[in-house]
A and B are shown apart, each in its own frame.
Chain A
Amino acid sequence: MLNGFCHTVIGASHITSGTVCQDSSVFRAYDNYGIAVVADGHGSKKHFRSDKGSEMAVTAALDTVEEFYRDPDAFEESFLNNPENLIKKIEKNIISRWNRLVIHHYTHNPYTEKEKEPFTEKEFKRLKVETVYGTTLIVAVMGRKFTFGTQIGDGSLVLICEDAAAEMPIAYEESAPANLTASMCNSQAINYFNSFYTLDEKPIAVFVSTDGLYTSFKSDEDFLDYHSILASQLINIDAFSPSIRKNLSKRSHCGTQDDTSLACVFDKDYIPEKQEELKEQVEVNKIHASMRKAEQKARMEKQRLKNSMNNARYDEESEL
């Protein structure tokens, strides 16, 4: 039986400025699959309805996957035959649904004078409707025979593998540094999706999160260790859920001040069997973290010593 959770907390900077949360998240569990989705509306001047855009993106993802699963046996067979092709079809369908939702919303909610105010007439004319609703999207689906995920724009997908190790199966997009990100509103959005799937392995859990979470960590290792802790608590998820929400708020306030969303899907029946391994993984991570810290300290000490020797030599040479 599949289970999961989703949380979205508003960014500290949005609270200060009185602006709305641009993130959306959702989790659903059905008989044949579970799905976790997050989206992060861009929020900048020209994306002034991206809070709605992110809601529509998660809705589009939910509805698309639901439609593909209408005949679960047929879908699973097709997926197993050609996973890449099926994921691409799902991505195309999500884009098309999102665009339909955007047009529908825009048609029933024409731009207000207040929304037009920040733009010149020329600027406003150039603005495409989908741009106004621009958002990222990350989707994770855990099925009976496979698990897959797809992503457009920044944010993270973390897989808790069969051996309890945490990994990010979707590579970071190097062409999008420091707040630059691909979007559902790009005209060639289909080319910006990245995906993964597993057929042979049965992951313990999959987490998806918007970039507000990732950017509150110092290193990838710390980020993955955090997910290992989360995974070790899934056995009591109802009791643990308030702690997750509290921690996300803390991360937003003390870190990047961005909106933060985290959603997860896991097999409730598989967790007890893996609980010992999950707990062990947390302990192993603690040891590795201590080692990293000690190595870093040793490197700095070595460098300090080298600096002192160099500076002493420099002073001697200067005196000569």
Chain B
Amino acid sequence: MSKDMNNDAELKTANNIEEDFGNMLDFDDDDPLSATSVSKKSLVIFFLIDTSGSMKGTKMGELNTVMEELIPEIRRVGEADTDVKVAVLTFSNSVMWMYSEPVSIEDFEWTRLRADGVTSMGEAFRELSIRMSRNSFLSSPSLSFAPVIFLMTDGYPSDDYKAGLEALQKNSWYKFGLKAALGIGKEANDDMLAEFTGTKDTVVHAYSGGQLAQMIKIIAVTSSQIGSKSMTLSDDTNHELSSQDVYAAKQKMLGQQIQDLVKSQDYSDTVPFDTGW
């Protein structure tokens, strides 16, 4: 029931309001408000990508190819009622954003990355922490979902990643964001990646080009589907969930789905990175 308390007698039922909805679709040229646009709910996916020297060759080539293929798939996730935006942060000797702000998936084009230098992951965490703010990358009022943050790396950080992670962990968007990580090759450290995600369930490993392609798609598509899922109503109680409940439920769902999908993949015909492929 609607409650304009200036009209105490007017307690509207859902049926009356459905009628309102029918009427509101009538376009009226004389109504100055009819020209104001309505924004869909939006979600930002952050990709944090290691572009250090060790990624050179097959790993980076494969990653570039997969990311180009991935964009149309993520576009389909957002088609229904969510505006999905993408932000890509690369880290090697320094950190760099692919675009100067999150870009709607409709307009996003992948810029092929090159690999060189060391692994400044701590600096990337600090940079992400600064940008994940209402005053920076997350300024859109329509931002209805906590962000998805996806880290990809093939080795151990060369800087003080713990200090960077500590700064990031204080960021409320990070706390309530969906976090996943992909270790590429045998040098990537799953424990360190789990420190970033907060759980081992959303950390996966790729040991070959085929696996890398499959893992990136699994994580990116699954996390954007779950991230943009409206979980304001719980089926059992018909009451909205709190943000903490939503975060916990989504992160758990992401972990389960990623693990299930990873187990269902067939990697028999792929050649490991670390055998020189």
Contacts and interface: CB of A to CB of B under 8 A. Distances in A.
Given A25-B4, A219-B139, A255 B38 contact: yes
15 contacts: A5-B6, A9-B2, A10-B2, A13-B230, A15-B17, A21-B1, A28-B6, A48-B237, A118-B237, A174-B134, A219-B141, A249-B17, A250-B24, A250-B38, A255-B41
B140 A9 contact: no
A8 B243 CA distance: 24
Given A118-B239, A303-B99, A243 B144 contact: no
Interface residues of A, number: 82
Given A7-B4, A178-B243, A243-B33, A217 B111 contact: no
B236 interface: yes
Given A19-B238, A24-B3, A45-B242, A216 B39 contact: yes
B158 interface: no
Contacts of A318: 61
B109 A307 contact: yes
Interface string A152-180: 00000000000000000000101111111
B264 interface: no
B143 A214 contact: no
Interface string B14-34: 100110110111001001111
State the majority secondary structure of interface residues on B: loop
A44 B245 contact: yes
Interface of B: 1-6, 12, 14, 17-18, 20-21, 23-25, 28, 31-34, 36-41, 61, 64, 99-100, 103, 107, 109-112, 114, 133-135, 138-146, 172-173, 176, 230, 232-234, 236-243, 245-246
A298 interface: no
Contacts of B14: 10, 14-15, 18
Contacts, number: 202
A5 B114 CA distance: 58
Interface in A140-160: none
A208 to B, nearest CB: 13
Interface stretch (A81-89, A105-113, A196-204, A220-228): A220-228
A318 B39 CA distance: 42
B143 A220 contact: no
B5 A256 contact: no
